[in-house]
Amino acid sequence: MAELRIAADLVVAENDKRAAALKSDYEALGANFARRGIDIEAVTRKVEDFFVAVPSWGVGTGGTRFARFPGTGEPRGIFDKLDDCAVINQLTRATPNVSLHIPWDKADAKELRAKGNALGLGFDAMNSNTFSDAPGQTHSYKYGSLSHTDAATRAQAVEHNLECIEIGKAIGSKALTVWVGDGSNFPGQSHFTKAFERYLASMADIYEALPDDWKIFTEHKMYEPAFYSTVVQDWGTNYLIAQTLGPKAFCLVDLGHHAPNTNIEMIVARLIQFGKLGGFHFNDSKYGDDDLDAGVIEPYRLFLVFNELLDAEQRGVNDFNPAHMIDQSHNVTDPIESLINSANEIRRAYAQALIVDRKALSGYQDENDAMMASETLKRAYRTDVEPILAEARRRANGAIDPIAAYRASGYRKKVAAERPASAAGGGGIV
Ligand SMILES: [Mn+2]
């Protein structure tokens, strides 16, 4: 039995206040579904089994290039972060796994594993960091890491990724996500081809050390921290990497890493078709890599991404098992509330995509009935599936209204008393 960060009877008391309304809403939605030929119980069970990993770096307050304004009770290290992640999972029952970032979360592997076990948490993909310099490191990543012009710097970056794999093996992770900040700020600064050749050679060295049952994920990103070019700038380059490295290499799609108005769901479809979709970093954006909470800006786009995933699943695409991870920066909210809400929004998109009438959609596509094809998607998207999400949480001993339960628990106030205030100022992601 996992240690609970919030008293079980508080969650029960909060749920008791809302149980009758939920029952009534769930029955009404069930009757609506029955008329549409959908089994609400089957949908609820699928939602209960859908999980998304939370990022350890997401439970601290994020920042921008301008400043960081920390909240109270900021986690002091990985063990505090795991405590906060356990709260998110206790209330949502949607986030049983945590993704670690090394070296930020470096700690004794046995202790990490024991802490995870005690809290009922597992470990998702390991994330390497060669986009900033760790204290005391020999070679700087100012001008790149895996694609650096200097062989010793590249070797150091490869070595760091190998260390991430070793830590991951010790704590039960099965994937490595390679983060790089490599790129250039000026035309002419970097030779596109040579830089990509060096990157591929470094990645091949990392791939070589990857256990057989692991996956390696690469993320494309159009800009930032480099502002003229990046080494892995778009999904085409990302696909080339996965294709060149081999069968354990896959592309990760971070929803914020594209030019505005890019048709991301179509990229997802292409990667699925050619067997290289590794998974997602969920977040939302208005302008660039804003790292806003999933579903707050473009919930229809999130739904359309899940529509492609469910289409693939229901077509029985081979070995289709994309990783679901959140990658966000919470600058003005309580990070725990943002992650609770994001996990729910991701489940909402999943539930809405589950109820798309795919047979009807396929028929409208064949008949070139654009109006009805669009309406088929919209009908699913317009359905308020909140009773299903709430019922899935309730059945798993989570909270019917997780943010209300979190606020009622006084958790933030409690940890604020235990954890000294962290320093303000400084930009960047944490
Ligand atoms: Mn990302």
| pLDDT tens track for 215-238 | 999 999 999 999 999 999 999 999
pLDDT over 80 (residue 165): yes
Q: How far is the CA of 376 from the centre of ligand 1 (A)?
A: 31
pLDDT over 80 (residue 422): no
C-alpha angle 140/82/321, rounded to 5°? 80
Span 117-164, pLDDT tens digits: 999 999 999 999 999 999 999 999 999 999 999 999 999 999 999 999
Q: How far is the CA of 83 from the centre of ligand 1 (A)?
A: 23
Measured CA to CA in angstroms, residue 267 lies from 17, 97, 276, 308 at distances of 44, 26, 11, 10
Residue % of the chain over a pLDDT of 90: 97
Q: Phi and psi at residue 317, in whole multiples of 5°?
A: -60, 135
Contact in structure between 126 and 167 (CB atoms under 8 Å) = yes
**Which residue(s) pair with 97 in the sheet?**
122
Q: How far is the CA of 362 from the centre of ligand 1 (A)?
A: 33
Q: How far is the CA of 178 from the centre of ligand 1 (A)?
A: 10
pLDDT over 50 (residue 430): no
Span 90-125, pLDDT tens digits: 999 999 999 999 999 999 999 999 999 999 999 999
What is the SS3 assignment for 206?
A: helix
Q: How far is the CA of 101 from the centre of ligand 1 (A)?
A: 12
Q: What's the pLDDT at 429?
A: 52
Q: What's the pLDDT at 1?
A: 75
CA–CA separation, 57 and 309 (whole Å): 26
Q: How far is the CA of 288 from the centre of ligand 1 (A)?
A: 12
Please, which residues have CB within 8 angstroms of residue 162's CB and are 6 or more apart in sequence? 206, 209
Q: How far is the CA of 238 from the centre of ligand 1 (A)?
A: 13
Span 327-358, pLDDT tens digits: 999 999 999 999 999 999 999 999 999 999 99
**Over residues 367-389, mean pLDDT:** 98
Q: How far is the CA of 179 from the centre of ligand 1 (A)?
A: 8
The mean pLDDT value of the chain amounts to 96
**Over residues 197-223, mean pLDDT:** 98
Closest CA to 183 of 227, 234, 133: 227
Other Cβ atoms closer than 10 A to 107:
16
Q: How far is the CA of 134 from the centre of ligand 1 (A)?
A: 20
CA–CA separation, 355 and 364 (whole Å): 16
Q: How far is the CA of 327 from the centre of ligand 1 (A)?
A: 5
Which regions of 255-358 does DSSP assign to beta strands (E)? 277-282, 323-326
Q: How far is the CA of 128 from the centre of ligand 1 (A)?
A: 12
Q: What's the pLDDT at 425?
A: 52
Six token digits for residue 74: 């900021």
pLDDT over 90 (residue 427): no
In eight-state DSSP terms, residue 59 is S
Query: pLDDT grade, residue 428 (50/70/90)?
Result: very low
CA–CA separation, 253 and 304 (whole Å): 14
Q: What's the pLDDT at 36?
A: 96
Q: How far is the CA of 330 from the centre of ligand 1 (A)?
A: 14
Contact in structure between 14 and 91 (CB atoms under 8 Å) = no
Please, which residues have CB within 8 angstroms of residue 339's CB and are 6 or more apart in sequence? 54, 58, 59, 88, 95, 326, 328, 330
CA–CA separation, 316 and 310 (whole Å): 10
CA–CA separation, 350 and 305 (whole Å): 9
Q: How far is the CA of 394 from the centre of ligand 1 (A)?
A: 31
Q: How far is the CA of 112 from the centre of ligand 1 (A)?
A: 23
CA–CA separation, 129 and 178 (whole Å): 8
Other Cβ atoms closer than 10 A to 218:
25
Span 244-286, pLDDT tens digits: 999 999 999 999 999 999 999 999 999 999 999 999 999 999 9
Q: How far is the CA of 320 from the centre of ligand 1 (A)?
A: 21
Q: How far is the CA of 73 from the centre of ligand 1 (A)?
A: 25
Q: How far is the CA of 107 from the centre of ligand 1 (A)?
A: 23
**Over residues 189-205, mean pLDDT:** 98
Q: How far is the CA of 219 from the centre of ligand 1 (A)?
A: 7
